[in-house]
Structure 1
Amino acid sequence: MGTSPTSFFQPAEWQPHRACWLAFPSHEALWGDLLPRVRAEFTALCRAIANPDPRTGYCYGEPLNILVLDEAGEREAQSLLGALQPQFHRVPFGDIWLRDTAPITLVNEQGDRQLLCLPFNGWGKKYELAGDAELAPRLARLMGLPYRTLSLTLEGGALEVDGEGTCLSTQQCLLNPNRNPGVTVAEVEAHLRDALGVEKVLWIESGLANDHTDGHIDTLVRFVAPATVVCMLPWSREDPNYDVLSAIYQQLQQLTDARGRSLTIIPLPSPGIVTSTQGEILPASYVNFYIANTTVVVPTYGTEADAKAVAAIAELFPSRTTIGLSARTLLEGGGAFHCITQQEL
């Protein structure tokens, strides 16, 4: 990577995890009548990540660290998740989107660890919830690791790395004046090179319709191996993201990574039209999967493309078990499985 052995960098998600951090869905004011179903989807995700043996209960996957708000929340979480032997932590948080509010683990070649905290402003001041802006440094202190804070305002879901010097992101998010007014591409790239230990930033222009994150990359393009990415292609002209997804596929064909390699692009189907209980188009994405130690958990939405997408992703991770699970209710809140997880390395 052209860095010294003591330089810190963000590893690729497929590297071994020490644990996965999540926050137990707790806020009735945010979820309303959907909260029981959100908790059911959350519980299924946790089980897939922990990967317990059905006979012995021994968990072969990764340990779970789960945030709860209070004693009552811990009791409720324990009743649903206790068999997975998680560690519960009573910590204030605004909502469950820890990909964006929890710290990122950095490592160096000597095995040292450091945490990177990202300044958070509620996705461009759209959803400013008590506890979220302070969560990253609070968790860093809880974890007992040294940490530093990036001087750009952004979220973890806006960053995708290959662990070999390349970062993917979107201009719609990182250059948005609701986060970093007046910042230039060159300034953003300099910050990311220093913070993440990357050498090259690859830019996608914009993201999915009605995505309140302003185009997070983890719903658009993901690395699945060095120089290999997945993206989605629309099924038909009726796809609400037809133009965006077609443009992303074309953009990826022009890019090379930090080592000069052209990207191998593996297309997945798009879920197509997925609407909320109010009839609004939701930013559904199969790319929002979580790569755990022994499993890959893929969100599904009850569309005809679900099975095809899960099967395609399974082929990319032969050493892991790929599991498709419903994220249909989670999506009502704006995201899916990758959005509510943060790996600790």
Structure 2
Amino acid sequence: MNDHIAGRHARRGLNRRGFLAAAGLTVAGAAIATTTQGRAGAVGAADAFRIPAEDVRHTRTWMAWPDRTAIWGSGLGGVQADIALIARTIAKYEPVVMCANSAGAAKARSMCGSAVTILSSVPVDDCWMRDTGPVFRTDGSGGLDAVGLGFNGWGNKQTHAKDALVAERIASYVGVPFTYAGLVGEGGAIEQDGNGTLMATRSSLVNRNRNPGMSESELGAAMCDAYGASKVIWFDGIRGQDITDDHVDATSRFLAPGKALVQMPLASDNDAYANDARRQYQVLSMSTTATGSAMTVTTLQGPDYNKIRSTNQNFLASYANYYLCNGAVISAHFGDTTADGAAKATLARLYPDRVIEQLNIDRLGTGGGGIHCVTQQQPIA
């Protein structure tokens, strides 16, 4: 397998990393919403633990420093520059800890600056902390623990011996109880509203490359147990066309309990990912939350790929892949000035009490990922 570019969420090409042939790749099934009931908070210290919404106050943000040319090739330096830019920007609002290999720690310190803490005791393979890091849970009474999702390189598609241990090692560093969830997955594959409702794509999780032999209902129950939730809104997603098998966080996000956002394509876009986004919008619009409330769905217009700066077929231009930190929304711009401005205005309307930071992360986007993909929040207990 060619690990030269770590593509994860590409929009235009069928092949986001070059590890799969185009033949036989289809969007799976009909876009009908199904739900799964689970026991809230069965993993970890107490049933009251749950993963909060991402807009709660954070203690810090966790990130990871890429240093492998075997994965990034000649593009490594540019990706490092984008990772450093994201870290420095978040560090204006909350502490950032960057996990780095010993050999890359000095460069990470030099590029990230003194505002970012470089931690060399948690080695990494790559930069996708959303997928490899722990998901932290709180109990509302000052308790904090962490759950690992059993990262396996997105179905053994990439070297991950170090990344498979990142979640447990970070939990140990923080000094909180740690438990592995009863499934294999990634943080970018599951969105939570902090009030009992999850959303995810079947393509990423109900997949034999992560969870062979597990049914959708079994996986839903395991997700609810880990996240302290009781309902999963499932999307079909897209199998086999990118390394993640279509993570939900590039398209759909929770804004609050009962409120969601979907990045929509241009009306003229008719590729698999455009149609997937339309289906996700339809499913959410017909869904209810864990408490029975109807979902309200806001749209975020995606850019025109003919007007963005990048011409790379693996490029991810996802405004929806933003990161919430204390007092700010960290998002991206792509060179379609009209769409960039409209996305910033939409985010400002949705998050009126936060600064909207738009960054040029084109080198990271060429690898098929975005800002949410490379960050993991540690909420205040």
TM-score over 0.5 for the alignment? yes
Match of 1:167 in 2: 198
Show CA shifts across 1:104-152 (max 9, x none).
1011021211110111111011113331112211222222111100121
Q: Does 1:336 align with 2:377?
A: no
Pairing 1:187-198 to 2, within 5 Å after superposition: 187-198=218-229
Matched-pair contact (CA < 8 Å) for 1:239–1:273 = no
Match of 2:301 in 1: 269
Match of 2:178 in 1: 147
Show CA shifts across 1:65-116 (max 9, x none).
111111x422212222223142433322110001111111011021211110
Q: Equivalent of 1:237, from 268, 278, 297?
A: 268
Matched-pair contact (CA < 8 Å) for 2:133–2:148 = yes
2:120 is paired with a residue of what secondary structure?
strand
Q: Equivalent of 1:96, from 124, 127, 147?
A: 127
Pairing 1:171-250 to 2, within 5 Å after superposition: 171-207=202-238, 210-238=241-269, 240=271, 241-250=273-282
Match of 1:43 in 2: 84
2:332 is paired with a residue of what secondary structure?
strand
TM-score (norm 1): 0.90
Structure 1 residue 307, shift from structure 2 partner:
2.1
Structure 1 residue 208, shift from structure 2 partner:
9.3
Q: 1:130 & 1:201 partners in 2: Cα distance? A: 30
Q: 2:149 & 2:264 partners in 1: Cα distance? A: 31
Matched-pair contact (CA < 8 Å) for 1:207–1:220 = no
Match of 1:30 in 2: 71
Q: 2:87 & 2:310 partners in 1: Cα distance? A: 25
Which stretch shows the higher mean deviation, 107-116 or 206-215? 206-215
Q: Which amino acid aligns with 2:299?
A: P
Which stretch shows the higher mean deviation, 6-15 or 75-84? 75-84
Matched-pair contact (CA < 8 Å) for 1:295–1:321 = yes
Matched-pair contact (CA < 8 Å) for 1:257–1:263 = yes
Question: Which has the bigger relative contact order, CA under 8 A and spacing at least 6?
Answer: 2
Amino-acid identity (%): 36
Structure 2: runs of 5+ lacking an equivalent: 1-37
Match of 1:320 in 2: 354
Match of 1:307 in 2: 341
Q: 1:299 & 1:211 partners in 2: Cα distance? A: 21
Structure 1: runs of 5+ lacking an equivalent: 52-60
Q: Equivalent of 1:114, from 141, 145, 149?
A: 145
Which stretch shows the higher mean deviation, 116-125 or 232-241? 232-241
Inter-CA distance 85–178: structure 2 relative to 1 (3 Å threshold): closer
Structure 1 residue 266, shift from structure 2 partner:
0.8
Q: 1:182 & 1:201 partners in 2: Cα distance? A: 19
Q: 1:174 & 1:25 partners in 2: Cα distance? A: 25
Structure 1 residue 226, shift from structure 2 partner:
2.0
Q: 2:242 & 2:352 partners in 1: Cα distance? A: 31
Q: Equivalent of 2:61, from 20, 40, 54?
A: 20
Match of 2:317 in 1: 284
Matched-pair contact (CA < 8 Å) for 2:39–2:229 = no
Match of 2:96 in 1: 64
Inter-CA distance 64–217: structure 2 relative to 1 (3 Å threshold): same
TM-score (norm 2): 0.82
Inter-CA distance 307–211: structure 2 relative to 1 (3 Å threshold): farther
1:262 is paired with a residue of what secondary structure?
coil
**CA RMSD, 1 decimal:** 2.3
1:329 is paired with a residue of what secondary structure?
helix
Inter-CA distance 157–2: structure 2 relative to 1 (3 Å threshold): closer
Q: 2:251 & 2:49 partners in 1: Cα distance? A: 26
Matched-pair contact (CA < 8 Å) for 2:105–2:118 = no
Match of 1:55 in 2: none
Show CA shifts across 1:30-49 (max 9, x none).
22222222122212211221
Q: Does 1:259 align with 2:300?
A: no
Q: 2:84 & 2:123 partners in 1: Cα distance? A: 20
Match of 2:168 in 1: 137
Q: 1:40 & 1:298 partners in 2: Cα distance? A: 16
Structure 1 residue 29, shift from structure 2 partner:
2.4
- Aligned residues between the structures: 335
Q: 1:302 & 1:176 partners in 2: Cα distance? A: 35
Structure 1 residue 253, shift from structure 2 partner:
0.9
Structure 1 residue 207, shift from structure 2 partner:
4.7
